[in-house]
Chains A and B, each alone.
Chain A
Amino acid sequence: MGRSEIIIAISNVEAGNKIKQVLTGSGFTVTEICTSGNEAIRKVRTLKPSLLIANYELPDTTGFEVAKIIAGNNLCTVLLLTNDIQKGYVESRARDLNVICLNRPVSRVVLLNSVELLIKSSIRIQKLEAELNEMKVNLDTRKLIDKAKGLLMQKTGLSEQEAYRKIQKQSMDTGVPMKEVSKFIIDMME
């Protein structure tokens, strides 16, 4: 999984190579050039790039359908190359999705700036999501420990500090994480 890896989906191989040249010239890695939407979906799912650049027109489906699947399943950000009408359509239908449209013809500067911005943002978002997930896990653990503490205090008359110490000690003695010890206590006492 590369942080600046890109997959391109466009049926015209020459155009795809041109885009690839521009991107690799600026230090980005283009892992694949796909020539159909279904191929792009398969490659994104197995190679996990940070960004998919897809043309709106594809031989088997539209770039929008591909974008809905890729962005909808949170696989990576999608940059669609569109015309005015397609852009309007996509933007009206995909407000919540991580899909950006650029109108063709796309200049080198616009492409590079957009890609740079998207990849930077996606890295940041991934980091935030990881932090958020970690916080959720910690919160769940804390809730479990609190519940176990509460039960211990209720059923055995221990003080809050003593109850916490008991869970902590059990965890240290047996090498079982405090979360699991708490679950066990809850199961036993409820």
Chain B
Amino acid sequence: MAKYTPEDVERMVMEQDIKFIRLQFTDIFGTLKNVSITSDLLEKALNNQCMFDGSSIEGFVRIEESDMYLRPDPNTFVVYPWRAQSDRVARMICDVYNPDGTPFSGDPRYVLKKILKEAADLGYTFNVGPECEFFLFQVDNNGVPTTVTHDNAGYFDLGPVDLGENARRDMCLLLEEMGFEIETSHHEGAGGQHEIDFKYADALETADNIMTFKLVVKTVAHQHGLHASFMPKPIAGINGSGMHTNQSLSKDGENAFYNPEDKLALSGIAYAYIAGVMKHIKAMTALTNPLVNSYKRLIPGYEAPVYIAWSAKNRSPLIRIPASRGASTRIELRNPDPSCNPYLALAVMLAAGLDGIKNNLKLVGSVEANIYNMGSRERAEHGIDSLPRDLYEAVWELKNSELMRKVLGEHIFDRYIEAKLLEWDDYRTKVHKWEIEQYLTKY
């Protein structure tokens, strides 16, 4: 992240003739929200005087508690590099505060900051490197996204794949212009699916980056006549989109997961962290896999995890240990999907890991065999449990988790569960195409 003072921001806005500034924050469901101001209100914004009506944001507050203040973080100042605009627009990511000057307990960024402070008090920094997958779909003639990844209506001189490749290349160029360090970018397994990985950074910066990343991807796709979707499983029968999350702790500048003496070169801290994550994972999935559709991805046969196990050798477990050691020692949590709220997802991962460390939890053995080939009895014998099978199960687990309640805080905990149960109920009570296809003629 850059290091800017408020004066730096004022100077840059003037020098670059920026007309509008977006004061950005994220709601509890991970949707990016903005309050736009013109540049003459910049000073007011930097003095933390810009307000908005919290009741307009789902999950924030009821009408009576409406006034909320935005406190921009000058370090997150960035000018949008889109070429297709008449005026220059910049943004700053903000924390949300109550009128009395206390941080708003429903602000997901605050939730992450709180748990990061807890880690910092123990001497740890939490580093995260996400691998975001997404689909690029054609938009039909009415502007509605389809799930078609190649053009049916005509032909291209260059293959349809090239349009997606060009879009992805432009995404990387713009992300780099905005200060991202792109590790890799490539076409993923499923047709129309892409992946962009960016460099490890501390969790707050990474969560901010994930939000920015999604915005850039969607904007660039739009500028290519395509629609980018972070939906976890838009098409049944092909791979879904995950957000594998590489994570590690460091202490005093050294990677705390690394121990060259150990047979896997992992430290006791690492093992305890993994144990913590495995203990709480079922409750965590409501945050890391927040949609009804998320659970359509967590099924066998598509490289997504289903069972709760860790492995250094298998490619598709819940927790994988990538081969690098030394400073790049890390674990890869493979169940999260990119529809999650990154602040809440990273917060619960860290909280679970810290719980493992604080309570010195003992980690079960790794599972190197192919779990998908085991029957349920064998899995039970090995003590291998499964991830929740649907959103309802995940929310039920969340409800019963003291740790999650503590990390998320009562405000988010209650509202999130309430909203997710409504979402589930809406899904549950609709009649789906599958039911019509299966039952209409037969009965």
Q: How distant is the Cα of A183 from the Cα of B265 in the complex, in angstroms? A: 40
B residues 143-191 with Cβ under 8 Å of A?
A: 143-144, 151, 153-154, 156-158, 162-163, 166
Decide: A35 and B85 in contact? CB cutoff 8 A.
no
The 8 Å CB contact of B143, one of A59, A71, A97, is A59
| A36, B166: Cα distance in complex, Å | 20
B356 to chain A, nearest CB (A): 46
Which A-chain residue is minimally distant from B170 (CB atoms)? Answer: A73
* Chain A neighbourhood of B214, CB < 8 A: none
Report how far A180 CA is from B202 CA in the complex, Å: 37
A51 sits at the interface (CB 8 A): no
Say whether B86 contacts A68, CB under 8 Å.
Answer: yes
Given contacts A45-B166, A46-B163, A73 and B223 within 8 Å (CB-CB): yes
B82 within 8 A of partner (CB): yes
Give the distance in Å from the alpha carbon of A96 to the alpha carbon of B162 in the complex: 29
Give residues 46-103 of B contacting A (CB, 8 Å): 82-86
Any B CB within 8 A of the CB of A69 = yes
CB neighbors of B among A64-106 (8 A): 68-69, 71-74, 93-94, 96-97
Q: Across the interface, name the chain B residue whose C-beta is closest to A74.
A: B83
Q: Does B141 contact A (CB under 8 A)?
A: yes
* Contact of A72 with B83 at beta-carbon distance under 8 Å, contacts A38-B225, A42-B151, A46-B156 already known: yes
A74 to chain B: which residues have CB within 8 Å?
83
Q: Is A40 an interface residue (CB 8 A)?
A: yes
The reply to whether the CB of A129 lies closer than 8 angstroms to some CB of chain B is no
Does chain A have a CB within 8 A of B438?
Answer: no
Q: Which residues of B are found within 8 Å of A39, using beta-carbon distances?
A: 141, 153, 225
Are A47's CB and B141's CB within 8 A?
Answer: no
- Give B159's nearest chain A residue, CB to CB: A46
Does B399 have its Cβ within 8 Å of any Cβ on chain A? no
Q: A37, A45, A60, A61: which contacts B163 (Cβ < 8 A)? A: A45
Tell me whether B224 and A41 are in contact (CB under 8 A).
Answer: yes
The answer to whether A36 and B142 have CB atoms under 8 Å apart is yes
Give the secondary structure class of A's interface: helix
**Other-chain contact of A69, B84, B144, B151, B156 (Cβ < 8 Å):** B84
Closest to A73 in B: B83
B21 located at the interface, meaning its Cβ lies under 8 Å from any Cβ of chain A in the complex: no
> A28 vs B224: C-alpha distance in the bound complex, in angstroms?
26
Across-interface contacts of A42 in B (CB, < 8 A) = 138, 151, 156, 163, 224-226
**Contacting residue for B85 out of A32, A43, A68, CB 8 A:** A68
Q: Which residue of B lies closest to A1 (CB)?
A: B157
> Which residues from chain B contact A45 at a C-beta distance below 8 Å?
163, 166, 224-225
Report the minimal beta-carbon distance from A95 to chain B, rounded to whole angstroms: 8
Partner of A60, one of B139, B154, B158: B139
B82, B141, B143: residue with the most chain A Cβ atoms closer than 10 Å: B141
A19→B357 CA distance, assembly (Å): 72
- Tally of A-B residue pairs with Cβ under 8 A? 71
Task: Look across to chain A and name the residue whose beta carbon is closest to the beta carbon of B139.
Answer: A38
* CB nearest neighbor in A for B222: A69
Instruction: Tell me whether A36 and B82 are in contact (CB under 8 A).
Output: no
CB neighbours of B226 from chain A (8 A): 38, 42
Closest Cβ–Cβ distance, residue A100 to chain B (whole Å): 16
**Distance, CA A152 to CA B143, complexed state (A):** 61
Instruction: Give complex CA distance A123, B181 in Å.
Output: 36
Q: Which of B124-140 contact A (CB under 8 A)?
A: 138-140
CA distance A42 to B85 in the complex (A): 19
**Whole-angstrom distance between the Cβ of A75 and the nearest chain B Cβ:** 10
0 or 1 for each of A96-123: is its CB under 8 Å from B? (1 = yes):
1100000000000000000000000000
Interchain CB contact under 8 A, B143 and A68: no
Q: Which residue of A lies closest to B151 (CB)?
A: A42
Which residues of A have CB within 8 Å of B85? Answer: 68, 72
> Residue-by-residue, is A17-52 near B (CB-CB < 8 Å gives 1, otherwise 0)?
000000000000000100111111111011100000
**Complex-state Cα separation, A72 to B166, whole angstroms:** 16
The distance in angstroms between the C-alpha atoms of A39 and B86, with both chains bound, is 23
Least distance between B120 CB and chain A CB atoms (Å): 38
Q: How far is the CB of A76 from the nearest CB of chain B, in Å?
A: 13
Q: How far is B143's CA from A59's CA once the two chains are assembled, in angstroms?
A: 8
Q: Which residues of A contact B162 (CB under 8 A)?
A: 46
In the complex, chain B residues whose CB is within 8 Å of the CB of A94: 86
Q: Which of B84, B138, B143 contacts A73 (CB 8 A)?
A: B84
A38-B223 in contact given A46-B156, A73-B83, A73-B84 (Cβ < 8 Å): no
Q: Check B225 against A59 for contact (C-beta < 8 Å).
A: no
Least Cβ–Cβ distance between B168 and chain A, in angstroms: 13
A46 touches B223 (CB 8 A): no
Q: Does the CB pair B153–A46 fall under 8 Å? A: no
Point out residues on B near A: beta carbons under 8 Å.
82-86, 138-144, 151, 153-154, 156-158, 162-163, 166, 222-226
6 CB-based A-B contacts, threshold 8 Å: A36-B140, A42-B224, A43-B156, A45-B166, A73-B223, A96-B86
3 shortest interchain CB distances as A-B pairs: A60-B143, A72-B84, A41-B225
